């Protein structure tokens, strides 16, 4: 290699080093300026309180107290340990316009008197024993799966939750999409026993 080529290569390398130092200096915090806030660590799991709304609890009959007591204990433990608690309810507008007559799960309800149970604010409110606080997230779903058509996926991603545990009745709807249920699964009755391993970044809505 000629002296001219070596000199040119040296110039290029020096220029690249200078640019690299300039970029690092541009992103480095100013020692005399405001401190850069640290991102708080978040628990890898979240507790989902599923469908424990007044209209559904009323249908649990003699099992209602047992389900609600266990769910309330799970909520209290999650809050005490800093685990995010997300509340999921099923609700529709009056007349259930979100439901097609061809929908197997809700199509029949849409044309029956039971449709009011999913449009009335009191009926879709959570039982007081497991009611959310003002700073906890409430997700409204329109399908059996809590992921389909809701923003639960976005909420869990924002919380950096890699898995979830559901508190609710097995008679109520599922907390995981069909594809997630195929990958996971332990379910025991009646409450807080469905653990859906939904690894980030894939919370798939099916």
Q: Where are the domains of the chain?
A: 45-196
CB 33 within 8 A of CB 95: no
Nearest 10 degrees: CA dihedral of 178, 43, 56, 170? 50
Bridge partners, 87 (sequence order): 49, 138
Bridge partners, 196 (sequence order): 164
Residues 71-129 pLDDT 10s: 999 999 999 999 999 999 999 998 888 999 888 888 888 888 777 788 999 999 999 99
Q: Say which CATH architecture domain 45-196 belongs to.
A: 3-Layer(aba) Sandwich (3.40)
Q: What is the pTM of this model?
A: 0.63
Pick the closest to residue 65 from 129, 126, 125 (CA basis): 129
Pick the closest to residue 45 from 143, 183, 192 (CA basis): 192
Averaged confidence pLDDT in the chain = 74
User: Is the pLDDT assigned to residue 177 strictly greater than 90?
Assistant: no
Residue keyed to tokens 């990958």: 183
Q: Which residue has the higher pLDDT, 136 or 39?
A: 136
């Amino acid at each position: 290699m000629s002296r001219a080529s070596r000199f040119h290569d040296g110039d290029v390398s020096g220029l690249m080093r200078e640019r690299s130092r300039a970029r690092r200096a541009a992103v480095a915090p100013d020692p005399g300026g405001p401190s850069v806030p640290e991102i708080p660590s978040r628990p890898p799991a979240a507790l989902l309180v599923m469908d424990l709304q007044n209209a559904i609890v009323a249908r649990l009959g003699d099992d209602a107290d047992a389900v609600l007591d266990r769910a309330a204990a799970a909520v209290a433990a999650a809050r005490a340990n800093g685990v995010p608690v997300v509340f999921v309810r099923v609700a529709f507008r009056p007349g259930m316009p979100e439901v097609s007559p061809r929908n197997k799960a809700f199509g029949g309800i849409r044309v029956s008197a039971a449709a009011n149970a999913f449009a009335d604010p009191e009926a879709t409110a959570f039982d007081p024993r497991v009611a959310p606080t003002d700073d906890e997230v409430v997700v409204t779903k329109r399908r059996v799966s809590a992921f389909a058509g809701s923003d639960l996926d976005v909420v869990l991603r924002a919380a950096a939750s890699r898995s979830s545990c559901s508190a609710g009745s097995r008679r109520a709807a599922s907390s995981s999409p069909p594809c997630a249920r195929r990958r996971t699964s332990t379910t025991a009755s009646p409450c807080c026993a469905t653990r859906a391993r939904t690894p980030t970044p894939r919370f798939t809505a099916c």
